[in-house]
Chain A
Amino acid sequence: MTENILEVRDLVKHYPVTRGVVFKKTIGHVKAVDGVSMELRSGETLGVVGESGCGKSTLARVLMNLERPTAGSVLYKGQDISKLSGGALRRLRRQIQLVMQDPYTSLNPRMTVGDLIGEPFEIHPDVAPRGSRRQKVKELLDLVGLNPEHINRYPHQFSGGQRQRIGIARALALRPEIIICDEPVSALDVSIQAQVMNLLEKLQDEFGLSYVFIAHDLSVVRHLSDRVAVMYLGKIVEIGTEDEIYERPTHPYTQALLSAVPVPDPTLRDQKAIIRLTGDVPSPVSPPSGCRFRTRCWKAQDVCAEQVPLLEIRSGSDHPSACHFAEKREIVATHEA
């Protein structure tokens, strides 16, 4: 059956906040990711949504082993990858790849497309013999819908959407099993965004890839994801299948988030009940006690300040939610008329 290809257990990533130049003093910690557990199944897309500062990009970096977690573990097929280094880590890189958000900054401006897509082969020479690399690069270009004859061009000669395709080709070069997509379409225009999303879907079908799809755009995440995790201030507040999260959300934050998504249909203008959240996301240096969402939540009670709500299935619900008062609520806004 579907096995867990990637498992995250109680992952914590804190960044020290320091003062001073030579003699640094730690004056606090940014609790970017604070106890996240989830699993990615083989061949599925796990969406991670949340607003800026919720820790989703840090999560991507830790999953990619670009940062060491403060605590917790990331298991790839049962093996803790956060402790790997050297050759073992390099071998692992072949299995987990990254597509980054900004196609304008994520490609070295002084390398040709051929060099950029060929670089994975140079780093991992055993994947493709030297003579066949050029050919492989062209195949990859073709695969992502770019003209293979553009192999000698530089990134700035391409548009945003095309650059994102180059980034995808690079991630695909080593034939990984998992691709972490960190906001891969949020820098693109609507019409181009759709092209790239279609490409990601096509590649998943073709190569049986598993995606961790991180984004802030809820409709994009829904379109691609099988399961969705909602993050707020370094914690997952709700996780479930795409249907459970979008049709039957039980966490107040998920509900507010969904209700705030603008719907491209003017006729729904007056029917929508937007849950107006007040204020902004608190600082991750000193998050609120108990439930982190309580400062903006309309349901907040005393218990919310005292007890951290666990991410668990509560009565009347079919999926885990980290709210003491989790319950269903109709969110008109997410439904098409």
Chain B
Amino acid sequence: MSDPSSASIVTTPPSTMPTEAGSGAPVDAGLPENARREKPRGLLGDAWRDLRRKPLFWISAAFILVFVVMAAFPWLFTGGDAVNGSLSNSQVKPSGDAWFGYDVQGRDVYARVIYGARASILVALVSTIGTLLIGGTIGMIAGYRGGWVDALLSRFADIFFGLPFVLGAIVILTTFNGADSNNNEWQIMGLVVMSLVVLSWPVVMRLMRSSVLATKEADYIVAARALGAGTGRIILKHLLPNCLAPLLVYGTILVGSFIGAEATLSFLGIGLKSPVVSWGIMISEAQNYIRISPFLLFFPAAFLVTAVLSFVMLGEAVREALDPKLR
């Protein structure tokens, strides 16, 4: 592991430390040249160095990059029309002309899958980030402060936790996004994101809270307090890095399940609606024709699974990189 003789007292040369406290004259003597030039490193820097060596990271990052570009600039990938089709093409199988075939209404499935990425990925990512931020913050406050603050926040979270997911989403979305409302695409997305966040944050909050409770009593937190560290430093430098791992893992799973949840809500007719395109809408439409035209389900589902898997793998790689013990 390390040079055994380095730990011996016998080999310690006489100290060169200045005896006056506060007189910060740098003493370079006795140190090898390269030791002085070596750049200081921190957790994030080391995590990045570690990530760069992982093929898993590069593969998943490449996929995610493709999906993100797809969501931002779908016209780079296809010249087809995702919204309008010709009924004469209804349920035509994949061919050289239309790689993924045509759906019931004769729209190009390839174009729709590309254009569908935006809604699906945007909703899932924004909801995940929102859930992690809100749940994480409240969980941190509850766990760190403890006492009545914790009791109050925990009971508050329990209320939301008690709401059944689908029922809760139906209530929220039918209230704000009923059949007679004429919200535009972005407003609907915002509403969907809001309902997902509102119904999911308690899980993250509990994760964070229990992780903070376990870490808060750790000796190194006591040691930091003994040094005079303030609340901000303890939370940012000591608690957060050590409590983040379970959240990251859960976050990657959330991305996947939110893509699915968005699809569910679309299917129920309370989420995104045609003519907006999303993988969820496509999957729910394809269900009725699964026997006759399985490709209608296959392509959006394949994109969805690939996207979810990429996020899960990325999360795993990041979690490993952030834990020095696994390096």
- In the complex, are there CB atoms of A and B closer than 8 Å? yes
**Is B55 among interface residues, defined by CB-CB distance under 8 A?**
no
Bound-complex Cα distance A61 to B222 (A): 9
Point out the residues of chain B lying under 8 angstroms from A106, CB to CB: 219-220, 222-223
Bound-complex Cα distance A151 to B124 (A): 41
Bound-complex Cα distance A80 to B71 (A): 64
Given A100-B219, A114-B40, decide whether A109 and B325 contact each other with a Cβ distance below 8 A: yes
Q: What's the nearest-Cβ distance from chain B to residue A131, in Å? A: 8
**Is B38 among interface residues, defined by CB-CB distance under 8 A?**
yes
Binds A, one of B8-16, B92-100, B135-143: B8-16
Q: What's the nearest-Cβ distance from chain A to residue B183, in Å? A: 41
Bound-complex Cα distance A139 to B15 (A): 8
Bound-complex Cα distance A131 to B36 (A): 12
User: CB < 8 Å: which of A112, A143, A148 contacts B17?
Assistant: A143
Closest B residue to A153 using CB positions: B2
Bound-complex Cα distance A254 to B233 (A): 43
**Is B246 among interface residues, defined by CB-CB distance under 8 A?**
no
**Is B218 among interface residues, defined by CB-CB distance under 8 A?**
yes
Bound-complex Cα distance A202 to B12 (A): 11
Q: What's the nearest-Cβ distance from chain B to residue A24, in Å? A: 9
Q: What's the nearest-Cβ distance from chain A to residue B6, in Å? A: 4
Interface string of B234-257 (1 = CB under 8 A from A): 000110011000000000000000
**Is A127 among interface residues, defined by CB-CB distance under 8 A?**
yes
Q: Are B16 and A127 in contact (CB under 8 A)?
A: no
Main secondary structure on B side of the interface with A:
loop
Number of chain B interface residues as a range: 35 or more
Bound-complex Cα distance A70 to B3 (A): 48
Q: What's the nearest-Cβ distance from chain B to residue A38, in Å? A: 20
Interface string of B120-159 (1 = CB under 8 A from A): 0000000000000000000000000000000100010000
Bound-complex Cα distance A115 to B238 (A): 11
**Is A145 among interface residues, defined by CB-CB distance under 8 A?**
yes
Q: What's the nearest-Cβ distance from chain A to residue B149, in Å? A: 12
Given A156-B325, A202-B9, decide whether A138 and B31 contact each other with a Cβ distance below 8 A: yes
Bound-complex Cα distance A102 to B19 (A): 29
Bound-complex Cα distance A100 to B224 (A): 11
Given A139-B17, A145-B12, decide whether A108 and B242 contact each other with a Cβ distance below 8 A: yes
Point out the residues of chain B lying under 8 angstroms from A202, CB to CB: 9
Tally the A-B contacts, defined by beta carbons under 8 Å: 158
User: CB < 8 Å: which of A21, A90, A128, A199 contacts B9?
Assistant: A199
Bound-complex Cα distance A167 to B222 (A): 12
Interface size on A, residues (CB 8 A): 69
Q: What's the nearest-Cβ distance from chain A to residue B177, in Å? A: 37
Closest B residue to A100 using CB positions: B219
**Is A152 among interface residues, defined by CB-CB distance under 8 A?**
yes
Given A152-B38, A156-B324, decide whether A147 and B3 contact each other with a Cβ distance below 8 A: yes
Given A135-B26, A156-B324, A206-B15, decide whether A149 and B32 contact each other with a Cβ distance below 8 A: yes
Q: Are A167 and B9 in contact (CB under 8 A)?
A: no
Q: Are B11 and A145 in contact (CB under 8 A)?
A: yes
User: CB < 8 Å: which of B17, B220, B227, B238 contacts A93?
Assistant: B227
Q: What's the nearest-Cβ distance from chain A to residue B158, in Å? A: 12
Point out the residues of chain B lying under 8 angstroms from A14, CB to CB: none
**Is B24 among interface residues, defined by CB-CB distance under 8 A?**
yes
Given A109-B324, A110-B324, A143-B17, decide whether A119 and B224 contact each other with a Cβ distance below 8 A: yes
Q: Are B24 and A93 in contact (CB under 8 A)?
A: no
Q: What's the nearest-Cβ distance from chain A to residue B233, in Å? A: 7
Q: What's the nearest-Cβ distance from chain A to residue B71, in Å? A: 33
Interface string of A132-162 (1 = CB under 8 A from B): 1011101110110111111110101111011
Point out the residues of chain A lying under 8 angstroms from B21, CB to CB: 127, 174-175
**Can you list 23 A-B pairs with a CB-CB distance of less than 8 A?**
A22-B151, A93-B226, A93-B228, A97-B226, A100-B222, A102-B219, A105-B219, A106-B219, A108-B224, A108-B238, A110-B241, A110-B322, A119-B237, A120-B227, A123-B230, A135-B28, A143-B17, A150-B6, A156-B324, A159-B1, A170-B227, A195-B7, A195-B9
B residues engaging A (CB < 8 A)? 1-3, 6-9, 11-13, 15-17, 19, 21-22, 24-28, 30-32, 35-36, 38, 40-43, 46, 151, 155, 218-220, 222-230, 233, 237-238, 241-242, 322-325, 327
